[in-house]
């Protein structure tokens, strides 16, 4: 697997370290000479100093044989153009752009570029995490489009003692597994929920809040 | 509609120029004021039909100017001009009695259409006004400008809306008086007997 | 088109942007000029009768503020090729602006964006063409 990373800063550094540790071949493109030199010393990756949206630099980085390119510069316009050039001129199969302005994530997708927004991801994480202390674990899948949440039922929960088939959960909600006394239970319709049960809940973003409310009650 | 006039209040030269140019084709005098103080000063001497008022101006802001206008010249129609995203101030302005609003940036056509619409609305609303003071206000301008046709139109509406109200007839009477004075001036009629009996005959 | 002129949004109010804004405005078009900094606007002449918006045009909120969805034409003339290319694409694909033009300094990017249906004007190519013409004229 060959990956081109365009950008700088700690995000790039840690991403690169993560990729190289997995045995990926990584080429970094960084604009600032000083930073590029420093990165080349710290990382076991090839570091090019130049403008990632310059077709010549992309060619030099081996874009033609790259499997993926990640554009994570602080400028949205650069990230978009880098990905478009990589895809249009070099046929890179997977091009992903960072949208610093969360509004741009959607825009990029509409312009044919896969995008992610850290603001959105971190924002939703914090929102979900801060809402309830009973939520002990959270894992956003595919950029936050699916949430896997572990919640703990207490005696204030409105569903204690009820069977799953009698509980009205919003659409887009799935109770994946129950953990009772450290034992996993694959739930069925007749399974009753008890105080102290851990529930692994799979939700879509829209149903996340309502599902938590249905299981834990109004905590506000 | 030559008796009407418009005042544009905006801190930016380019916007004043644009609006003046946009309103020119209406054939109504358009004046501009560079800020709130300037606007209030101009309004002391001229009664404008419509005032386009920018909310964000150096010195006295638009809302403050609007409050002054509503207190001192309650009949004047104020259109709020605002930048994108100033919903709250616009809402407040509408509550204070502004008749409409215009969001920047706008095209000359939008300004012109809105002005036309408001001026027409004014004519339409005359058919609903039934209080004497309002009629007096409405009458004031066409009569002082001697546009008899327009004044007569207003009074005819008045009569048709409230046939039982004596006030409208009084106005009609005074209108004819004005009309005849004017005709006399134009010397298109020989100096005949006073107009009194004629009016009574009409009524 | 209409006698009242076109609604034109100009992104980047440098020398070229300001020049275009002044001229289009004096020709009776309705012009909105966007630039990152207020300091760019003095380039607009005294009889510029359009609007000025201070903001980053790579943020869609700013383009929306300029009512790009209502614009007949958008011209991107900032000093950053990538900004111009991004703004042009957003105008064309998302706001459906009928006519979109972008200045691109790097002639190598012209072909890629022609593929995407973005009309670019490259000052270097244009100037080079004029120079070549001038040379052949003299012969």
pLDDT digits (tens, 9 = 90+) for C16-31: 999 999 999 988 899 9
Assign 3-class secondary structure to chain A: CEEEEECCHHHHHHHHHHHHHCCCEEEEEECCHHHHHHHHHHCCCEEEECCCCCHHHHHHCCHHHCCEEEECCCCHHHHHHHHHHHHHHHCCCEEEEECCCHHHHHHHHHCCCEEECHHHHHHHHHHHHHHCCCEEEEEEECCCCEEEEEEECCCCCCCCCCEHHHCCCCCCEEEEEEEECCEEECCCCCCECCCCCEEEEEECHHHHHHHHHHHHCCCC
B148-161 and B132-144 helices, crossing angle to 10°: 160
> Residues B87-91: what's their mean pLDDT?
84
Measured between CA atoms, the residue of chain C closest to residue B107 is: C30
On chain B, the residues whose CB falls within 8 A of the CB of C53 are 105
C34 reaches A (C-beta below 8 A): no
C-alpha dist (Å) from residue A19 to A13, A67, A87, C99: 10, 13, 21, 43
- The pLDDT of residue B63 is 92
Q: pLDDT tens digits for C36-73?
A: 988 877 888 887 888 999 999 999 999 999 999 999 99
Yes or no, beta carbons of C82 and A78 under 8 Å apart? yes
pLDDT in tens, chain A (220 residues): 999 999 998 889 999 998 999 899 999 999 999 999 999 999 989 999 999 999 999 999 999 999 999 999 999 999 999 999 999 999 999 999 999 999 999 999 999 999 998 887 777 766 665 555 566 556 667 766 788 888 888 888 888 888 888 888 888 888 888 888 888 888 888 888 998 888 888 888 888 888 888 888 865 4
Nearest CB neighbour to C30, from listed B12, B17, B108: B108
CB contact under 8 Å between C50 and B18, yes or no, is yes
Backbone angles phi, psi at C130, to 5 degrees: -65, -40
Put simply, the answer to whether C81 touches A53 (Cβ < 8 Å) is: yes
Q: What is the distance between the alpha carbons of residues C75 and C99, in angstroms, rounded to a whole number?
A: 8
Say if the Cβ atoms of A84 and C112 lie within 8 Å. yes
pLDDT range class, residue B198, cuts 50, 70, 90: very low
- Give the 3-state secondary structure of residue B8: strand
Mutation test of the interface with chain B: which of C43, C51, C66, choosing the one with the most B Cβ atoms within 10 A? Answer: C51
Cα(first)–Cα(last) distance of chain B, in Å?
A: 28
Interface test with C, best of A63, A80, A81 (most C CBs within 10 A): A81
Q: Give the pLDDT confidence of C116-138 residue by residue, as tens digits.
A: 788 999 998 899 999 999 998 86
Distance from CA of A211 to the nearest CA of C (A): 33
Candidate from C61, C80, C89 with C-beta closest to A111 = C89
pLDDT tens for B92-115 read 888 888 888 899 999 888 999 999
Q: CA–CA separation, C25 vs C48, rounded Å?
A: 6
Confidence of residue B191 (pLDDT cuts 50, 70, 90): very low
Cβ contact, residue pair A101, C58, below 8 Å: yes
C138: DSSP letter: H
Residue position matching structure tokens 């100093």? A49
The contact set of C with B (CB < 8 A) is 2, 4-5, 7, 30, 32, 44, 46-53, 64-67, 70
Q: What is the pLDDT of residue A167?
A: 87
Once rounded to an integer, what is the mean pLDDT over residues B80-99? 85
pLDDT score of C135: 92
Q: Do B108 and C44 touch (CB under 8 A)?
A: no
Q: Which among B8, B13, B14 is the top mutation candidate for probing chain C, defined by the most C β-carbons within 10 Å of its own β-carbon?
A: B14
Phi, psi torsion values for A68, nearest 5 degrees = -155, 155
3-state secondary structure of B147: coil
Chain B residue closest to C41 (CA)?
A: B14
């Amino acid at each position: 697997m060959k990956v081109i990373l365009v950008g700088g800063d700690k995000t790039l550094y840690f991403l690169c370290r993560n990729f190289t540790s997995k045995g990926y071949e990584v080429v970094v493109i960084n604009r600032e000479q000083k930073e590029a030199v420093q990165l080349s010393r710290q990382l076991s990756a090839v570091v090019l100093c130049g403008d990632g949206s310059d077709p010549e630099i992309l060619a030099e980085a081996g874009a033609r044989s790259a499997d993926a390119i990640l554009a994570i510069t602080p400028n949205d316009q650069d990230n978009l153009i880098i990905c478009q050039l990589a895809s249009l001129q070099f046929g890179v199969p997977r091009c992903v752009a960072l949208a610093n302005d969360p509004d741009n994530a959607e825009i990029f997708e509409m312009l044919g570029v896969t995008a992610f927004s850290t603001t959105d991801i971190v924002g939703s994480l914090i929102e979900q995490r801060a809402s309830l202390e009973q939520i002990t674990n959270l894992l956003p899948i595919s950029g936050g489009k699916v949430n896997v949440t572990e919640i703990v039922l207490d005696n204030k929960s409105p569903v204690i003692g009820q069977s799953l088939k009698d509980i009205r959960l919003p659409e887009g909600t799935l109770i994946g597994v129950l953990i009772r006394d450290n034992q996993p239970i694959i739930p069925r319709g007749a399974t009753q929920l008890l105080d102290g049960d851990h529930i692994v809940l799979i939700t879509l973003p829209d149903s996340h809040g309502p599902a938590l409310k249905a299981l834990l009650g109004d905590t506000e | 509609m030559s008796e009407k006039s418009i005042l544009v209040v905006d801190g930016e030269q380019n916007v004043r120029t644009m609006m003046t140019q946009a309103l020119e084709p209406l054939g109504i005098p358009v004046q501009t004021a560079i800020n709130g103080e300037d606007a209030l000063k101009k309004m002391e001497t001229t009664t404008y039909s419509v005032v386009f008022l920018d909310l964000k101006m150096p010195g006295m802001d638009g809302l403050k100017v609007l409050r002054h206008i509503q207190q001192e010249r309650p009949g004047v129609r104020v259109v709020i001009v605002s930048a994108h995203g100033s919903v709250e101030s616009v809402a407040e302005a509408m509550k204070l009695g502004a008749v409409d609003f215009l969001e920047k940036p706008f095209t000359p056509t939008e300004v012109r259409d809105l002005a036309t619409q408001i001026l027409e609305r004014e004519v339409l609303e005359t058919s609903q006004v039934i209080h004497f003071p309002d009629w007096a206000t409405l009458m004031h301008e066409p009569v002082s400008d001697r546009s008899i046709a327009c004044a007569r139109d207003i009074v005819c509406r008045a009569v048709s809306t409230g046939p039982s109200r004596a006030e409208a007839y009084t106005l009609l009477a005074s209108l004819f008086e004005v009309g005849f004075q004017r005709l006399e001036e134009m010397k298109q009629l020989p100096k005949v007997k006073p107009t009194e009996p004629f009016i009574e005959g009409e009524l | 088109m209409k006698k009242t002129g076109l609604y034109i949004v100009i992104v980047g109010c440098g020398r070229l942007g300001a020049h275009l804004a002044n001229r289009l405005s004096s020709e009776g078009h309705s012009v909105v000029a966007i630039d990152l900094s207020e300091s760019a606007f003095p380039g607009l002449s005294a009889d510029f009768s359009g609007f000025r918006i201070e903001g980053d045009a790579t943020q869609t909120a700013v383009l929306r503020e300029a009512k790009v969805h209502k614009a007949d034409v958008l011209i991107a003339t900032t000093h950053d090729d990538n900004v111009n290319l991004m703004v042009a694409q957003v105008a064309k694909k998302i706001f459906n602006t009928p006519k979109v033009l972008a200045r691109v300094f790097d002639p190598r990017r012209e072909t890629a964006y022609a593929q995407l249906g973005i009309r670019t004007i490259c000052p270097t190519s244009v100037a080079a063409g004029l120079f070549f013409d001038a040379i052949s004229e003299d012969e």
